[in-house]
Homo-oligomer: A and B are copies of this chain.
Amino acid sequence: MSLNIREFSSSAEGFRSELESLLAWDSVSDAGVQQAVANIVEQVRLQGDTALIEFTNKFDRRNVASSSELEITRDELALAKGRVSAELVASLEAAAKRVHNYHERQIQPSWQYQEDNGTVLGQKITPLDRVGVYVPGGKAAYPSSVLMNVMPAKVAGVSEIIMVVPTPDGVVNDIVLAAAYIAGVDRVFTIGGAQAVAALAYGTESVPKVDKIVGPGNIYVATAKKMVFGVVGIDMIAGPSEILVVCDGKTDPDWIAMDLFSQAEHDEDAQSILISPDSAFLKAVKSSMDKLLQTQSRKDIIKASLEGRGAFIHVENMDEAMDIANIVAAEHLELSMDEPEKWVEKIRHAGAIFMGRHTPEALGDYCAGPNHVLPTSGTARFSSPLGVYDFQKRSSLIYCSPEGASELAKIASPLARGESLEAHALSAEYRILQDEKGE
């Protein structure tokens, strides 16, 4: 079984524009989706549970009569956990613990400092009150995503975490529910799609309104999240998952082939790119792929993904590889090479960086500790992995001493008048101390 993967050389003319075409991804939802989602969101906002039940019955082919049927209790989650194998529960618990430990390092404490005249400045940092976590149902039901979305919120100290997960035809996924139990989700509703996003954003009689919605979903979910952005906070809208492997040519080609497969097996739009200065190694990885592909249970998806969006890029040297990595700004960047700690200095943009031959993305996906919710499609240029900081927010603190206020007012007053905001100026000037007003 031979794969037909694009091959590029960085020295070829037009490489840069070919790279741009390779990376291009347009996630814009069409007008039809926009209209459908706008309608669903509006109905749920206005009619609450009535609309939520109607859409759930329609889209998930269910027969829910009352909103109480939409909730899964903590007791039921515990029962689901009991139905999962002991080995899998142990892995979920070990992963949850590692993810928890890593994210504890991200907690940001409030801070303040005092100036000589007694004025105090700072920032008070507090957790969000209530968060909604969207978990896809059906074929792409990932318990690991439950852990990755819930743990940072737990570590941040969010008081209440509401999970929504669609159950098409009423089928629940025990591993997902077990993960929700282990992660400490407070309430679970079996709703999905734009209707679940709307319910979380506006609240219904049964679903409490949250302050932020996180978690992946299909185009309807993504469109709905973008639509309610501002009413609630949202995380980044995720595109297809991608990996960029940079290898010096000295890692086992089978390992690299499988690392690329592990990304490609997600779906047909996933992207796997390999960069190396060693053309013989690129050929060896290609041979490994051809050899290993037929053994893969998801070989059709892997083939479609690699042939549709995959690429091998031959570069002149490692410096050039790092330049290309910064252009790609990959969600997952694997530095499979000697002394990755030196090369990582040159990386400015990446969601997560996997260093060394023994660090495949799969370890980060599940249990290394860092979050697997990462910026896709080059958005690592301006955004970050999901983290505790996404579930904390800040309030500026300003406490002026009378002397401090008097000094600041003398700076603020001309600025306010320069902006023709006289009441601002007067409000400041009232705080100039009497014995200084004659200055």
Chain A residues in the interface with B (C-beta under 8 A): 27, 85, 87-88, 91-92, 94-95, 98, 102, 105-106, 111, 113, 119-121, 123-124, 126, 128-129, 141-144, 175, 211-212, 226, 229-230, 232-233, 236-237, 252, 254-255, 258-259, 261-262, 264-266, 296-298, 302, 333, 340-341, 344, 347-356, 358-371, 374-375, 379-385, 387, 389, 393-402, 404-406, 408-409, 411-416, 418-428, 430-431
A411 near B27 with CB under 8 A, answer: no
Residue of B nearest to A264 (CB): B423
Partner of A363, one of B230, B232, B428: B428
List the B side residues contacting A375 at CB < 8 Å: 393
Which one of A85, A88, A265, A404 has the highest number of Cβ atoms from chain B below 10 Å of its Cβ?
A265
- Ranked 10 nearest A-B pairs via Cβ: A370-B396, A233-B382, A358-B405, A352-B396, A355-B399, A261-B423, A384-B394, A366-B412, A359-B400, A211-B382
Complex CA gap A400/B255 in Å reads 15
List the B side residues contacting A262 at CB < 8 Å: 421, 423-424, 426-427
Residue of B nearest to A412 (CB): B366
B91 near A411 with CB under 8 A, answer: yes
B424 near A395 with CB under 8 A, answer: no
**How many copies of this chain are found per oligomer?**
2
Q: How many Å from the CB of A31 to the closest CB on chain B?
A: 10
Give the dominant DSSP class at A's interface: mixed
B368 near A408 with CB under 8 A, answer: yes
List the B side residues contacting A265 at CB < 8 Å: 421-424
A427 near B358 with CB under 8 A, answer: no
CB within 8 Å for A395 and B351 given contacts A144-B419, A259-B427: yes
List the B side residues contacting A344 at CB < 8 Å: 124, 397
A358 near B402 with CB under 8 A, answer: yes
List the B side residues contacting A226 at CB < 8 Å: 226, 229-230
29 example contacts (A-B, Cβ-Cβ < 8 A) are as follows: A85-B414, A102-B121, A123-B387, A126-B348, A129-B348, A142-B419, A143-B418, A144-B419, A261-B426, A340-B399, A347-B395, A354-B399, A356-B399, A358-B400, A359-B405, A362-B416, A362-B427, A363-B408, A363-B409, A363-B412, A365-B412, A366-B424, A367-B408, A367-B411, A370-B398, A371-B396, A380-B393, A384-B393, A389-B389
Complex CA gap A252/B412 in Å reads 20
A414 near B87 with CB under 8 A, answer: yes
List the B side residues contacting A419 at CB < 8 Å: 141-144, 175
Which one of A91, A129, A369, A395 has the highest number of Cβ atoms from chain B below 10 Å of its Cβ?
A395
B422 near A298 with CB under 8 A, answer: yes
A411 near B366 with CB under 8 A, answer: yes
Residue of B nearest to A231 (CB): B379
List the B side residues contacting A236 at CB < 8 Å: 230
List the B side residues contacting A129 at CB < 8 Å: 348-349, 381
Partner of A358, one of B111, B302, B369, B401: B401
CB within 8 Å for A27 and B230 given contacts A126-B348, A363-B428, A382-B393: yes
List the B side residues contacting A416 at CB < 8 Å: 362, 365-366
